[in-house]
Amino acid sequence: MSELRDENRAEELRNKTVDQLVADGTITSARVEAALRKVPRHIAVPEVPVEKAYSVYEPVVTKQDEHGVHTSSVSAPQIQAMQLEQADIQPGDRVLEIGTNGPNAAYIAELAGPTGQVTTVDIDPAPADRAQRFLDATGYTGVRVLVGDAEYGVPDRAPFDAILVTAGAWDIPPAWIAQLNEGGRLVVPLRVNSLTRTYRFVREGDHLVSTSAHVCGFVPMQGDGAHRQETLLLRGNEEIALRFDEALPVEPSLLNGVLITPRAEVWTGVTVGRTELIGGLQLYLATMLPGFCTMAVDPDLDTGVVKPNNPAFSMAAVDGPNFAYLLVRRTPDDKNVEYGIHAFGPDRDKLAEQIRDLLRTWAKQHRGGPGPRLTVHPADTPDDRIPGDRIFNKKHSRISISWPTA
């Protein structure tokens, strides 16, 4: 009787979660809705209360390293539903999931149906074992669970109609394109200059073209696809850390003593609502501002020389011996916030004006627009074959960014 009550409670929570995802627009198709209503995801994480298993927006962390960094998790239903909608999995599709823990593979199996083929792979045997136990317990025995470095795909199960990546990637390895059918979909949390979005790409010949993007957060890739950010300590200690996703400045020593120069303060006139989503603005600066980085201030070492709104994360930029970061202040009516810049260095005014002009361009030409279009080309593709406003060169690929006007 107790087990029946527990299962009834789990079903009630599961339906409540799906109801919320339908109401907020994350779930837009009846097939994804049905899959999330059916799969008993709580069975994958018996170590946590059933309420936590069905938390709409919070993942369940299943493994951490010795420093407390999350290395594996069961993603939140909201993230999984978002990616499933992007993947548009049809009955009979051959699908590869990269990064596993069980429930998402079961959702994919529901969508692909009995004529489909689902493979899920993880570099770590622990989540793969957890996934296998969950799939066996819930009857999804047709899903093949593998242990391996998915940087190289799964060639003996290819080609795929869809590949879903559930770990944060910095690059697109050649295997993910080569093992995808023409017109196939790659859904991947891709990091471009420190900011991650889950993109839906479609294969067109030897390259990929993005068709949608959503803000997200994932544990990073491990194995040969791992990529560490570079950190520059601005005052020579841990007080102010600048993190660069692509590479450190060519001559970081030029910044020695930059914070003892006078500070320029420039306000842009660009305002946003206090609850307005600013993911597009962040991505615009990250992809269009040379020297973009992020700044974190250690609260235990903070001397007040910089005054960010959020010590843990601020958008910033470096240009030779100059440094600047963004901040906001409330407007007089208290309904909006205005963006401003603090800049240091011998050419601080010029750098502040450059950032101001970019913010104004975003507000005038791109705010409320469709967002950027990304294309992913092989690393040896010449410039004249790559459209876009800016190109990011990765190890295996060249990623171009185009910003259409709103």
How much is the mean pLDDT over the chain? 93
Of 182-186, 365-369, 399-403, the one with minimum mean pLDDT is 365-369
Rounded to whole angstroms, the Cα distance separating 283 from 289 reads 10
Query: Residues in the chain, how many?
Result: 406
Sorted by sequence, the CB contacts under 8 Å of residue 201 that are 6+ apart come out as 185, 186, 187, 188, 208, 209, 210, 211, 374, 376
For range 393-399, the mean pLDDT: 96
Q: Mean pLDDT, to the nearest integer, of 94-109?
A: 96
Q: Is 75 a catalytic residue?
A: yes
Cis peptide before 159 (omega within 30 of 0): yes
Model confidence band, residue 1 (pLDDT cutoffs 50, 70, 90)? very low
Rounded to whole angstroms, how far apart are CA atoms 61 and 32? Answer: 24
> Any idea which residue has 């593979």 for tokens?
105
The mean pLDDT value for 362-379 works out to: 94
Average pLDDT of 320-333?
A: 96
The answer, yes or no, to whether residue 69 has pLDDT greater than 70, is no
Instruction: Kindly tell me if the per-residue pLDDT of 4 is higher than 70.
Output: no
pLDDT at 137: 96
Predicted confidence at residue 34, as pLDDT, reads: 98
For 345, the token pair is 């260095």
Burial environment of residue 146 by CB neighbours within 10 A (0 to 12, 13 to 18, 19 or more): middle
> What is the longest distance spanned by two Cα atoms in the chain?
74
User: Which residue among the candidates 2, 29, 55, 75 is catalytic per the annotation?
Assistant: 75
Pairing outcome for strands 390-393 and 397-402: antiparallel
Burial 36-52 (b: 16+ CB within 10 A, else e): beebbbbbbbeeeebee
Asked whether the beta carbons of 86 and 185 are under 8 A apart, the reply is yes
**Pairing status of strand 336-344 against strand 264-273:** antiparallel
pTM of the full structure: 0.92
The pLDDT score that the predictor gives to residue 254 is 95
CA separation, residue 184 to residues 47, 206, 368 (Å): 37, 12, 28
Residue 217 confidence class, pLDDT cut points 50, 70, 90 = confident
CA–CA separation, 104 and 311 (whole Å)? 34
